[in-house]
Amino acid sequence: MRKLSKILAPALLAALAAGAATSATAAPTPYRADTIRNQIAELQRRVERNDRRDNISEREARGLRQEVYRLRDQFRIYNRNGLSRAEYRTLTQRIDRLRMRLRIERRDWDNRRW
Protein backbone atom coordinates (compact mmCIF):
# COMPACT_ATOMS: atom_id res chain seq x y z
CA MET A 1 0.00 0.00 0.00
CA ARG A 2 2.80 2.37 0.85
CA LYS A 3 4.50 1.74 -2.52
CA LEU A 4 1.26 2.47 -4.32
CA SER A 5 0.83 5.83 -2.59
CA LYS A 6 4.44 6.73 -3.41
CA ILE A 7 3.76 6.15 -7.10
CA LEU A 8 0.18 7.37 -7.27
CA ALA A 9 0.60 10.69 -5.42
CA PRO A 10 3.25 12.18 -7.75
CA ALA A 11 1.35 10.97 -10.82
CA LEU A 12 -1.83 12.58 -9.53
CA LEU A 13 -0.05 15.85 -8.80
CA ALA A 14 1.51 15.88 -12.26
CA ALA A 15 -1.89 15.30 -13.87
CA LEU A 16 -3.45 18.13 -11.86
CA ALA A 17 -0.60 20.50 -12.75
CA ALA A 18 -0.90 19.66 -16.44
CA GLY A 19 -4.65 20.24 -16.36
CA ALA A 20 -4.23 23.59 -14.63
CA ALA A 21 -1.59 24.69 -17.12
CA THR A 22 -3.71 23.90 -20.17
CA SER A 23 -6.82 25.54 -18.80
CA ALA A 24 -4.87 28.70 -17.92
CA THR A 25 -3.65 29.17 -21.48
CA ALA A 26 -7.10 28.55 -22.97
CA ALA A 27 -8.85 31.03 -20.67
CA PRO A 28 -10.02 34.30 -22.21
CA THR A 29 -7.87 37.29 -21.46
CA PRO A 30 -9.91 40.41 -20.72
CA TYR A 31 -7.03 42.84 -21.26
CA ARG A 32 -6.92 41.85 -24.92
CA ALA A 33 -10.61 42.60 -25.33
CA ASP A 34 -10.28 45.94 -23.52
CA THR A 35 -7.31 46.90 -25.69
CA ILE A 36 -9.15 46.11 -28.93
CA ARG A 37 -12.34 47.82 -27.73
CA ASN A 38 -10.40 50.99 -26.88
CA GLN A 39 -8.56 50.99 -30.20
CA ILE A 40 -11.81 50.63 -32.16
CA ALA A 41 -13.40 53.47 -30.18
CA GLU A 42 -10.36 55.69 -30.78
CA LEU A 43 -10.44 54.88 -34.49
CA GLN A 44 -14.10 55.86 -34.67
CA ARG A 45 -13.37 59.15 -32.89
CA ARG A 46 -10.54 59.90 -35.34
CA VAL A 47 -12.80 59.28 -38.34
CA GLU A 48 -15.50 61.56 -36.89
CA ARG A 49 -12.98 64.27 -36.01
CA ASN A 50 -11.45 64.26 -39.49
CA ASP A 51 -14.89 64.37 -41.06
CA ARG A 52 -15.93 67.33 -38.88
CA ARG A 53 -12.76 69.21 -39.79
CA ASP A 54 -13.28 68.42 -43.49
CA ASN A 55 -9.92 66.67 -43.70
CA ILE A 56 -11.66 63.84 -45.55
CA SER A 57 -14.63 63.90 -47.90
CA GLU A 58 -18.08 62.72 -46.89
CA ARG A 59 -17.72 59.70 -49.17
CA GLU A 60 -14.37 58.78 -47.63
CA ALA A 61 -15.81 59.21 -44.14
CA ARG A 62 -18.80 57.01 -44.97
CA GLY A 63 -16.53 54.23 -46.21
CA LEU A 64 -14.30 54.47 -43.16
CA ARG A 65 -17.32 54.43 -40.82
CA GLN A 66 -18.62 51.28 -42.50
CA GLU A 67 -15.26 49.61 -42.02
CA VAL A 68 -15.23 50.59 -38.34
CA TYR A 69 -18.76 49.14 -37.92
CA ARG A 70 -17.71 45.88 -39.62
CA LEU A 71 -14.64 45.73 -37.40
CA ARG A 72 -16.77 46.26 -34.30
CA ASP A 73 -19.15 43.49 -35.39
CA GLN A 74 -16.27 41.11 -35.98
CA PHE A 75 -14.90 41.99 -32.54
CA ARG A 76 -18.27 41.19 -30.92
CA ILE A 77 -18.41 37.82 -32.66
CA TYR A 78 -14.84 36.94 -31.68
CA ASN A 79 -15.23 38.18 -28.11
CA ARG A 80 -18.19 35.95 -27.24
CA ASN A 81 -15.89 33.23 -25.92
CA GLY A 82 -12.85 35.40 -25.28
CA LEU A 83 -10.23 36.37 -27.83
CA SER A 84 -7.70 33.81 -28.92
CA ARG A 85 -4.26 34.92 -30.04
CA ALA A 86 -5.18 34.45 -33.70
CA GLU A 87 -8.36 36.50 -33.33
CA TYR A 88 -6.47 39.21 -31.47
CA ARG A 89 -3.86 39.30 -34.23
CA THR A 90 -6.54 39.45 -36.94
CA LEU A 91 -8.30 42.36 -35.24
CA THR A 92 -5.09 44.32 -34.65
CA GLN A 93 -4.12 43.86 -38.30
CA ARG A 94 -7.51 45.19 -39.42
CA ILE A 95 -7.17 48.14 -37.04
CA ASP A 96 -3.71 48.92 -38.41
CA ARG A 97 -4.98 48.75 -42.00
CA LEU A 98 -7.87 51.06 -41.15
CA ARG A 99 -5.51 53.54 -39.48
CA MET A 100 -3.33 53.50 -42.58
CA ARG A 101 -6.36 54.03 -44.81
CA LEU A 102 -7.46 57.02 -42.73
CA ARG A 103 -3.95 58.46 -42.94
CA ILE A 104 -3.90 58.01 -46.72
CA GLU A 105 -7.35 59.55 -47.14
CA ARG A 106 -6.31 62.57 -45.08
CA ARG A 107 -3.20 63.15 -47.16
CA ASP A 108 -4.38 62.24 -50.66
CA TRP A 109 -4.89 65.85 -51.75
CA ASP A 110 -7.42 64.86 -54.39
CA ASN A 111 -9.37 68.10 -53.81
CA ARG A 112 -12.56 66.16 -53.15
CA ARG A 113 -13.44 67.30 -49.68
CA TRP A 114 -17.19 67.77 -50.12
Whether 56 contacts 114, CB under 8 Å: no
Report residue 114's pLDDT band, with 50, 70 and 90 as the boundaries. Answer: very low
Q: How far from 21 is each of 26, 29, 66, 83, CA to CA, in Å?
A: 9, 15, 41, 18
Indicate yes or no: pTM above 0.75: no
Tell me: the pLDDT tens digits for 31-67? 789 999 999 999 999 999 999 998 999 999 999 999 9
Report residue 8's pLDDT band, with 50, 70 and 90 as the boundaries. Answer: low
The DSSP output letter for 109 is -
Q: Is 57 exposed, middle or buried (0-12, 13-18, 19+ CB in 10 A)?
A: middle
Question: Where do the structural domains in the chain lie, given as residue ranges?
Answer: 29-106
